[in-house]
Structures are given as C-alpha cells and as structure tokens.
Structure 1
Amino acid sequence: MIISTIAAASLLVGGFLSAPGLVDRQMNQVYPYSAKAPSRDTLALHQRLWIADLHADSLLWQRDLNRSGKHGHVDFPRLQQGNVALQAFSVVTKTPRKMNIERNGSDTDNITALVVAQGLPPATWNSLLARATYQADELRRLAGKSDGRVSVIGSRAQLRSFIAAREKDPALLAGWLTLEGAHALEGKLDNLDTLYKAGYRMAAPTHFFDTELSGSQHGLKKGGLKPLGRQWLRAMEQRRMIVDLAHASPATIDDVLGLAQRPVMVSHTGVRGTCANGRNLSDGQLKRIAAQGGLVGIGFWNTAVCGKDVAAIARAIKYTVKLIGAEHVAYGSDFDGAVTTAIDAAGLPRLTQALLDAGLSEAQIRRIAGENVRDFLLKNLPDDDA
C-alpha cells in the first residue's frame, strides 16, 4: 500500500513537472508555411543584414537555449541560423488567468504554477522581483555555456565591442534583457536599482493588467500614469533605461509621450491600419512615437497582423513604413510569447522575401531588420561604464 501510494505520488509530481513542457509545445507553435521559399538572391541579401528582434519570451520556458529545439520559436542555434545578431529577451513575471486583450484583473497569476512546476527556487514562488532576477541570471548562465558564441550586453561600449567582433565572426549572437511589466518592482521604486544591476535595460510600465504605475490597454480601468508611474518614468530616464509602451493604455501612452525626455520603444505590436483591434496602435499613436524618435516593433502573430503568414507581417510593416518612415520600424516578433507565429527564428529569410515581394527596397529592409535597433541602442543605452 505504501509503495503504491508513493508510486501514485511520483506519477502526480512527474506529471506536474512535465506540464510546462507540454504547455510550451501547445502554446508556442508555427503556422504551416504558405508563402514561397526565399530565392537564392534573397538568401544572399538576408546574410548581409544586421538583424535584431525586440521581443522574445523564451526565458519563461526554461529550455536549454544552447540546444536546437523542435518546438517553440527561439534557441541560440535557430537565431544563428536566421542570422540574428541581437535578440531582446523579455521576462514575464505575472499574467492573469483567462488572459485576453480586452479586460483583465490583477488578482490571479498563471506564472506562479509555472515556476513551481519548473523547479525554480522557492524565492521565486511568491516574489515577482525574484522571478525577474532569476531569469536575468538564467540568460547569463546560458550565455556562459555557449563556448563564447553568445554574450549579454547592457551598455553602449559592450554593444560596440559586440558589433566589431561580429564583423569578424558572423555567427556571434548577443542578447539584452527587457522586462514585460514593471509590476516586478513590487510597488517599490528602489527595486529599479535591483533590476538595473540584474541587467535590465528596457521595461514596460504594464503588461496585461493595470499596475501601481499605470493602466494597461487590457486592464480594468485603462487609466494613465499614476504618481508612482511618473516617478518611475523619471527614474528610468535617469538610468538611461528605455521605456517600452507595448500593452500600455492610450492614456498611459499619452502621459508618457507628454513627459518623456528620451525616445521610447514599442517592442511588439500591430497597427490598426492593417489589423483593427485594441491590442494595436492607431495612426495617431504611431506618428507621435515616431515624432519623438521612437521605434515600433511589428509582431509576427495573428492578433498583431490579422494573418497567419509572412505576407501579413510584411503588409503591416509596409503600412507603418509609409506612415512614419522606415527609420522608425523594427521587428517585434513576440517569439515564445504563448502565441503561434508565421515563422520561428530560423525562418526569418522568408520574411525578407515577403518584404521584397511587398516592394520594400534593400535599404529599407536593412533599417527595419535591425539597423534601426542597433543605432537606437548605440544612442540610448547607458554610458560606457555601465
């Protein structure tokens, strides 16, 4: 009886611990390819690009990113296969149950069960800040096991050094840390120093619910910046940390743009001009962000672009380029963000082909594919002694 009870308990625990992998496989998929394969000339162009992506949630799933996987969207080998130079690794610390793009409260959390099931340290079970610092350390641990192929950058000097090294070895890859929602501060502005020391260089005030800082596009009240949010904005700018307006409510976007002294990013979004829903940015918002020197990362998933192939992504990019100029547009895939995407990281040549087919020039594609992000960070990351 005791033996059978232990066996049953072991099966239960084993099933619980295997659940994250099953969820990962189910939620991070790729639509079947429907567009034509890239031509030889396109592949040659793709290899000449300096590619950067502004958003991937891959650290959430506790995969060994040094190994090429058969599920999900991102690992180091697939990034290298796609000729990616710089990948933003965003960290998610809390999401509401039954998450949707219209209306969510903050009183439930999917991530607690995930971190417990993945065997993360007990400190992460009840602390959003601990989850953020753990995932930052995880990226550095993974980079440390890459035999020098992957590095983590946090300053302009580090980025310049990486750019120079990659000119000699195009297989090199760099990551940088971003935070999806400043609720990881746990309501304490002093914790911003902890996040900065952990390596974070960009953060959004909200994710899928309203926070102590501001309203979310998907929250209950959808308000603007609160007093703590205004203090947070000043503190971010003092540290040369970049503000990300992905998921921000219209009121929050207006407040940030009215107060910001530095350009902002929208790491992953769609545009209402090609995909009209509350998740995406209006023409007016796009113009204001661009007018202040900002960047907009176009997403790769259906809710962002109203389509399941690279042609839909290219359509959204082309629309945004026509509206605000190629110098303000970037890739914001949302890889591994519990979404199905048109491609994974290795499939990026297909997007290059779609952009060419949409009529974009090589010069425009170079800017959009990564040079805009590279140059933005060279201007806006912390000082060289960071």
Structure 2
Amino acid sequence: MDRGRAVVIAIGALVALAIIGFFTVLPTWYDRHVNQLVPNPPPPATGAAAALHQRLDVVDLHADPLLWKRNLLKPHSFGHIDLPRLEQGRVALQVFSSVTKTPRGLNYDRNRADSDNITTLAIAQLQPTRTWDSLLQRSLFHAEKLHRFAEKSDGRLRVIRTVQDLDALLADRAAGKTVTGGLLSIEGLHNLEGKFANLARLREAGYRMASPTHFFDNEVSGSVAGLEKGGLTSLGRQVIRDMQRSGMVVDLAHASHATIAEVLQMATRPVIFSHGGVKATCDNNRNLTDDEIRGIAATGGVIGIGFWDAAICDTSVEGVVRAMLHVRDVAGVDHVALGSDWDGAVTTVFDAAHVSALTEGLMRAGLSEEDIAKIMGGNAFRVLRATLPQE
C-alpha cells in the first residue's frame, strides 16, 4: 500500500470514529457533564424525618429529563431523575418539561432569539428528522417519549391529564401501589411557532402546563432574560385566556416582570412559578419580588423553589429552606412548593432519590408535619386539582 493511500484510509477512519463518537458518545457525555450534584450532597433523612417522608406524596413542578437520550425506566449513575429514583424519593408526581430551544451564550440577563443549541442535540441524539427544524415537533416527540415510557413501565408510571387521573393516582398510592404520575409541561411557547392553533395540538398530545417564554423573547411574550423584556403580545393574551379556559396551568417561570404583572391581572385560575427563587434570599433578575409572590398567592397558586445556585444563591438544604420560609412569611405556607429543575443543565443539592433531605431540613427549621406535607406536595396537588380539566 502506498503512503498516500494509507493517509487517506487513516483520515477516513478518524472521520468515521468522529462521526460515531458524535452520535454515540457526545449526548451521554454532555448529559453527565451538565446535570450534576454538588460535592458531598446531603444524605437522605433519618429518624423522625425519614418516617414522615415515607408518608408523603411528593410533587416536583419542573424537571427536564425528556431533553436527554436516557431510558427513564432504568436506574442511572448520573443526572437527577429516573423512575427508580423517583420511587425511592417517594415522588408521587413529577412534572416533565419540554425544552425546545436555548440560545448560544445562555445567561440570566440578555439573550437573543436567533440561535439554538437544541438543534445540535436533536441531531446528535438521532431524534426523528422532523424534530431537527421544528420546535413544535420537538415537543410532540417529548410527549411521545413520556407516553412510551408509561406504556413500558408495567403500570409504575402513568401520564396525568385530568383531575380524575390525579385522584386515581393518589388513591392507588394510598392503597400501597407503586405508581408515579408524570405531567407534561412546556418551557416556552415558542414551540407554537407563532400559530395559536398549535396550542390545541400540544394539549391533545397531553400537555397540561406551559410557560410563555424561556430564555428569550418570543411571539407570545417577553422573557426576563430577553432583550426587550416586554409583556404579553396579542397572541400571548389569546394563549393565556385559552389555557385558563381549557385547564392548562399557566407557569410564570422565566416570564418578564411585565408579563407576570399582566398574567396576574388576567388570572381566573391559580397560576404558578414552577422553578426559581426569590429576590429576598437570592437577588437576581430571574427571581421573584415580594409583590410578585403575593400576586401569585392571590390567584391561589404556588412558587416552586429550585435546588440550584441561581435560584437560591446557596447550594445547600438550608439555602432551599431559607427561600421556602421567605415565601411562607410573605404569602403563607399554602403557596410554597418544590421546583427542582432536575436535569435542566444545572448542579443541584440532591437528586430525586434523596429529596427526603429536604423533609429533614424543613423539620429542622421547626415546621409542623402538616406544613411540611403541604410544601412537599399538598399545595401543588391542590393547584392542579383546581386547574386540570375534568374528564
């Protein structure tokens, strides 16, 4: 073999290896790299807190595992969520969000809307080609993923669409069945692709919660991290009215402060802030003011406190508890909830299997068992029961 031919073959082999690595190694490596736990995460609860946790039905209002190429029915040594870990942590209901677009250079202050990281991820994961250039199709694919996991779970995972589904889930858990609910949510309604009619398609696919924006302004409203940070557009007002009429939970996470104010004026049902923090304990543009906390509470809604640094400015159990106690002091304990952002390209205090550490932290802070049960899931169940459609 002459030298030139050998060089061509070697280059071809390297290219082939690079392509194989792009499609097989890169997605899992990236998942491992961006979804981590803090060093020396707290252990699960012990003693009285562990006993209390075993009686709880935990609800978490936001997580992003559908973004990743991961079998959620099997245990994993990385990331934050899979069904075995949800079961270990006694998570009765997990909200699964659909992330369809994030800008390059993502930050909490100002992002343009003219770039997208998720396209590369969709191609690298070998998702259906229809998802490569359509944000709507990405969300429809995410819904299909969750439904497939439920179908293959031998009854351990079920998708929640209605109040009756919610009540049946709690009844079955009370009867001793091992079952976890999954509720589909949308992180940013840019997946409507500017068309109001697509909201009905998403609702038919099973989505029961949505935030108007993510990290950039879109056709529905301004983002707290967008360039203009404006309020609702005419399409946005139409969308919010339809969501409240049809039983989709309005989520104000990532919304601009102008959008939050407008939605609160329009609200006819409880609205939520699914994941984040409060300015009083972590002062950044993303987090809620005390007036916004009161406004969400006035609708009957809840604030889901996150478990990562930008939400709480202190990646510890005590940091999560401190933010929760502030919401309690401003608006009452009935408006505090969990909003982990698990698997959302963040480093969190604990994963789903070890969420009992929060139960222990709340007990150490002096909260009653009744109030802990409300925070860990009861408040979220109340809001969902007041918002989801009847069969």
TM range (shorter): over 0.9
Shift of 1:7: 2.2
Q: Which runs of 5+ in 1 are unaligned?
A: none
Secondary structure of the equivalent of 2:37? coil
Alignment counterpart, residue 82 of structure 2, candidates 56, 72, 75: 75
Task: Give the superposition deviation at 1:61.
Answer: 0.6
CA shift, 1:144, in A, is: 1.3
Q: What CA deviation, in whole Å up to 9, does each residue of 1:200-232 have, x standing for no partner?
A: 000011000001111000000000011111111
By how many angstroms is 1:33 displaced? Answer: 3.2
Equivalent in 178, 201, 205 of residue 198 of structure 1? 205
Once the two structures are TM-superposed, the CA of residue 161 in structure 1 deviates from its matched residue by 1.4
How far apart are the structure 2 equivalents of 1:37 and 1:159?
A: 27
Query: What is the one-letter code of the residue matched to 1:217?
Result: V
Q: Once the 2 structures are TM-superposed, how far is the Cα of residue 77 of structure 1 from its aligned partner?
A: 0.3
Counterpart position of 1:27: 34
- The Cα of 1:260 is off from its aligned counterpart by 1.9
Aligned length: 384
Pick one of 308, 312, 322 that aligns with 2:315. 308
TM-score (norm. length: structure 1)? 0.97
For 2:21, the equivalent position in structure 1 comes to: 15
Q: CA distance change for structure 1 residues 7 and 94 in 2, over 3 Å: closer, same or farther?
A: same
Q: Is the 8 A contact 2:41 2:349 kept in 1?
A: no
Fraction of identical pairs, as percent:
50
Equivalent of 2:278 in 271, 285, 302: 271
Question: 1:250 and 2:257 equivalent?
Answer: yes
> How big is the shift at 1:239?
1.4
What is the Cα deviation at residue 39 of structure 1? 2.3
**1: CA distance, partners of 2:41 / 2:162:** 40
SS in 1 for 2:373: helix
Residue-by-residue CA offset, 1:236-290 (whole Å, 9 max, x unaligned): 1221111100000000001111112222111001011111111110101000110
Scaled by the length of structure 2, the TM-score of the pair is 0.96
Alignment map for 1:274-353 (pairs within 5 Å)? 274-353=281-360
Paired position in structure 2 for 1:49 = 56
Describe the shift of the 1:145–1:255 C-alpha distance in structure 2 as closer, same or farther (beyond 3 A).
same
Q: Quote the offset at 1:41 in angstroms.
A: 1.5
* Structure of greater Rg: 2
**Structure 1 residues 37 and 66, CA, compared in 2 at 3 Å: closer, same or farther?**
closer
Matched to 2:53, the amino acid is: H
Q: Which runs of 5+ in 2 are unaligned?
A: none
d(CA) in 1 for partners of 2:31 and 2:217? Answer: 26
Q: What is the DSSP-based 3-state SS (H/G/I as helix, E as strand, rest coil) of the residue aligned with 1:336? A: coil
1: CA distance, partners of 2:169 / 2:97: 20
Q: Counterpart of 1:274 in 2: which secondary structure?
A: coil
- Letter in structure 1 aligned against 2:293: L
In structure 1, what is the Cα distance between the partners aligned to 2:240 and 2:165? 25
In structure 2, distance between residues paired with 1:233 and 1:42: 40
Aligned counterparts of 1:383 and 1:39: Cα–Cα separation in 2:
39
How far has the Cα of 1:376 moved from its partner?
Answer: 1.4
The aligned amino acid for 1:173 is T
